[in-house]
Structures are given as C-alpha cells and as structure tokens.
Chains A and B, each alone.
Chain A
Amino acid sequence: MSRVGVIGAGHGVFGRRSDATVQELAFEAFRLAIKDAGISRDDLDATVVAAVPEYHKQRSVAGVVQEYLNLNPKPTWLTEVACASGSAAIRTAWMAIKSGVHQVVAVIGCQKMTEMATAEILALMGRVGEVQWESIFGSTFPGYYAMFATSHMHEFGTTHEQMMQVAVKNHFYGSKNPNALFRKEIQLDKAMNSDAVASPFCVYDCCANADGAACLILAEESRAKALSKKVVWLDGVGCATASMSVLRRPNLVGLPSAVEAGQQAFRMAKVTAKDVKVAEVHDCFTIAEIMAYEDLGFCKKGHGGKFIEEKRSYIGGEVAVNVDGGLKAKGHPIGATGVSMAYEIVKQLRGESGERQVPNADIGLTHNVGGIGQYTFVHLFRRD
C-alpha cells in the first residue's frame, strides 16, 4: 500500500493574538504551508480542520476557515478530541489518503483561546474530566495531573525539582523558537519558588493557553514524489483511549492510552523507541513529559525523573524532546498543538531547524494527549 508523505508545513506565531481572528490565524499557517509545498490551492482535494469548538464564539469553525481560504466547494470537516484534536486531524487525513478517497489534503489546526476570559476558560477546562463525579468536589485540569505527580513521587521517588527541570529545558529551547509564546529562559530556583497552583505544581509547572495555528499538507506517495523533493513520510499512526473518569484508571503513574498508541505506531513504522532521534511530547504539565518518556519507552517506568535530571532529553542526549519549547514555552492553542508538533518534526527531519537542529534526525515522533490521557495519538515520521 502506498505511503503518505508530508509535502508542506506552515506555522504561525503562538501568543496573545489580538491582531487576528481564528480564520486569519488559520490563513497565516495555511499560506506558509502552501508556499513551503510549492503547490497552489487547486492541488488540494480536501481540508481537515482541528479545533475545540467550545473555546470559540463562532460555531462550526471548519466552514468558516474553508470560506476564508476560498476553498469552497472542496470538502472540509472538523476533528475534536480535546487537546489531541490536531493529531486526530492528521490521522483523519492519513486515513482519507490511504483509503484512496483523496490524494492531497491540508490539515489545519487553529485555536483562538483568548476570545474568552481566563476564568471562563478555567471553568470549561475544569470540566475536561467527568463533570458529575469529579468536578463537584472542586477538581480541575491541573489537579488531575497533580494527582498523577503525587502518585509518581510516592511510587518512584520522583522529585518536584526533577519535574521542574522539564520546564527549564523547554523554556531554554523555547527561547530560541521565534514562534513561541515565551521566549525567555527560566532559572530552576525561581521556577521552584513560583506561586503554588495545585500541589505539587507551581505556575512554572503548567503550560499556558495561547492563540495560534499550524498547517501540514499531506499527499499520497506518487503525488508527494511528483510535487516535492523533501517529503517526510508519516509511516506509523497510533491512537488509543482510556476511561473518561480518572477514578477508573488502573493507576496514576502513567497514561495507558499513550503506551498503547505508542506500541501501535512503532509496530506500523517497524521502528523502536531507541530509533527515535527527536520527539514532541505533550508537556501540558511538567509531570506529563516525564510520564511520556516512560510510556513511550525512552526509559523504564519510574526512571523519567532521572532521565531529565541527567539531561538525556536535551539535544546531544538519547532523544531530543520538545526542542521547540513544547506546550510549556511555545504555548498551547488546543486545536493547533498536534499539528504544531508535526510541523517541528517535519522541519527537524528536513534539517531546517537552525540552532535547534538535532544532528542526524531521521526518525521523529509526536505524542499528543487529549484530556488526561482519555485520548492519545502517537505518530512516527521518517525521512528516506
């Protein structure tokens, strides 16, 4: 069966984008991706849009974007699985191409998080979990991951300082990424002493909401080769779920959906965790990156704290993780995040990442989590 390749990638600036509507953000990334691919709008068969609708005032954002990009009457549809919506859109485009229905598909992840007040967004995010059986006790999104952190510390002796070293790394690389929301390095002691949010988390353990968009152009193998000389292949896709109710999880030290999605993707791409040179993982909170190292097999379960402490996820270590700043420093426009991760991997595999370039990057991975692991998508990219 023919492969699916990425022939173009575009990324807008993440941040407080009071200068742009959500459709304008989508256009910004789309224009760059089309230019990067060297194709015109006429070459496209369809668009898949990723966004989480409840954060937008305008309903049905796929239709709005399609009109704004002057792509009617070509097909479009929206994918939504919370913070993993972007990767779900990529998977959907991959499936559309693999099935033979479409040959060239644009994937646009876009989100305007600042249309609403932070308090309103927090109230919405508090309801990411099981509304009825968890939220009534005052649980919120950071709190769920804080419970994972507490369990991880209890079971494996992981320390808050190790967690915060994830933030230090990601801000270090974010400072070198012109598309990142936060472009400043942070110091460990200052970060450790930032305001408490949900113990053990302080402010610097948490990623920030942002506005932004990213776009990928995917194509069927023969079309990809005809249209582009720098194709990056999407050779493995994995997707798995876990219970909506966190209280039904087997344990709170990892995300079973991430383990399963990772194994699927590795099997399909016929590679192992050791082959991955560069990875983008879902670091919505610092503990999430540590659990990702373990769930994906970069290190053994329980060894994630040591893995960051020994800088093994820096460039020059075993696998360079989130060297675009991650959600942590780059910002987290929910619908765009999965596509943004893929953008970074594509650029890395093409050797176009400048001072953040990972040497000999030939295999790259994205790990995109929706909610608290209710959904996880793992994608494996390769350059020939």
Chain B
Amino acid sequence: MSETQDKRGRPAAKDRPFLDELEAKPFWANLKEHKFTSQRCSACGKFFGFPPQFLCPHCLASEYEWIPLSGKGKVYSFVTYHRAWHPAYQDKVPYNVSLIETEEGVRMMSNVVGCPPEAVKIGMPVEIVYEDFEDYTLPKFRPAT
C-alpha cells in the first residue's frame, strides 16, 4: 500500500480532507485563514454542527450563515491509539483522538495535541490550534491556557 492508494487502487484513508466537497468548501476555506466556523440556521437559529450540509438538520430550512466559533471547548470523550491502522500513522502512535464539544455545543472529532495522550481527560478544557499544511488547515485542540 502506498500513502495514497491501497493495493486495489482505491484511495487509502489518510489525514487529508476532501477540500472540494461542496457543502464543506467554505469550512476549509475559512480554516485556511484560521477562522473556525460552523453553519447556523437562519430559520431556527441552531448550529448545524458537523458534517456540514445544505439543509438544517434540525428544521430542514436551507438558509444559513457561516458563524465564527470561539475555538474553546472541552473533551467529550477520547481514545489513545497504540496501533497504526494505516502506514500514515506508523510514526504517530500512541496518539489521541478526541470528541470535542465546543462552547457553542457543536461536536467534532479531532486530536488533542500539545500534551501526552495519557494527560487527556473527559471534561478537560481545550482550545483550537491550527495545523497548517500546504493547501489546507486541520483544526486541532490543545489544553486551554
């Protein structure tokens, strides 16, 4: 298996988002400018949360705005991986994956970085940190200062 393909020629999972997915395009574009945003419904006022979509998951209205989030939140749950499930993660184990709940009540999967995985706890306050790559940015979180 290469980094980008498995031996049957399908794209291998790798920590790279689908930047061109229509619903999510503004999210990745905003993130590239270090703006962490989520859709908020213009009809019912609730946040869509992730994954982004064209219709409000609560009331099915189609009008929404991309609203900046504070970037602050807490760890809802977490796991520490000790095995690499893909060659791309070979040099990363052990690594953390956490379900983050933002102050606005939006949840997203991410990694808590900037502390050892064993220091991560449920309820731990965290804040966003932008991890820049050549053509995109990933939202990660670190213990809140």
Contact = CB atoms under 8 A, between A and B. Distances in A.
B85 A132 contact: no
B110 to A, nearest CB: 6
A127 interface: yes
A196 B82 contact: yes
10 contacts: A126-B85, A127-B13, A132-B21, A136-B14, A143-B79, A147-B79, A150-B78, A150-B79, A199-B82, A252-B99
A133 interface: yes
Contacts of A34: none
Closest 10 A/B residue pairs (Cβ): A196-B82, A146-B79, A199-B80, A147-B77, A247-B107, A134-B109, A143-B79, A133-B51, A140-B85, A122-B85
Interface residues of A, number: 37
Contacts of A196: 82-83, 94
Contacts of B49: 247-248
A148 B15 CA distance: 23
Interface residues on B, range: 35 or more
A247 B50 contact: yes
Given A143-B97, A147-B78, 15 more contacts: A119-B1, A126-B86, A136-B15, A137-B111, A138-B92, A139-B97, A139-B109, A140-B81, A147-B77, A147-B79, A196-B82, A198-B79, A199-B82, A247-B107, A247-B109
Contact of B85 (A123, A130, A195): A123
Interface of B is mostly: loop
Interface string A338-368: 0000000000000000000000000000000
Nearest to A132: B18
A191 interface: no
Quick one: which of A117, A123, A130, A146 has the most chain B CB within 10 A? Answer: A123
Given A123-B86, A130-B51, A136-B15, A150 B122 contact: yes
B6 interface: yes
Nearest to B82: A196
B29 interface: no
Interface of A: 117, 119-120, 122-123, 125-127, 130-140, 143-144, 146-148, 150-151, 154, 195-199, 245-248, 252
A161 B99 CA distance: 24
B15 A137 contact: yes
Contacts of B80: 198-199
B12 interface: yes
Interface string B80-124: 111101110100101101010000000111110000010000100
B24 A132 contact: yes
B104 to A, nearest CB: 14
A23 B24 CA distance: 42
A198 to B, nearest CB: 5
B109 to A, nearest CB: 4
Contact of A123 (B13, B78, B82, B107): B13
Nearest to A153: B122
Contacts of B57: 248
Contacts of A131: 13
B56 interface: no
Contacts of B85: 122-123, 125-126, 138, 140
A78 B8 CA distance: 23
A105 B16 CA distance: 45
B41 interface: no
B128 interface: no
Contacts of A151: 76-77, 122
B7 A120 contact: yes
A195 B82 contact: yes
Contacts of B86: 119, 122-123, 126
Contacts of B107: 247-248
Quick one: which of B12, B51, B138 has the most chain A CB within 10 A? Answer: B51
Contacts of B68: none
Contacts of A198: 79-83
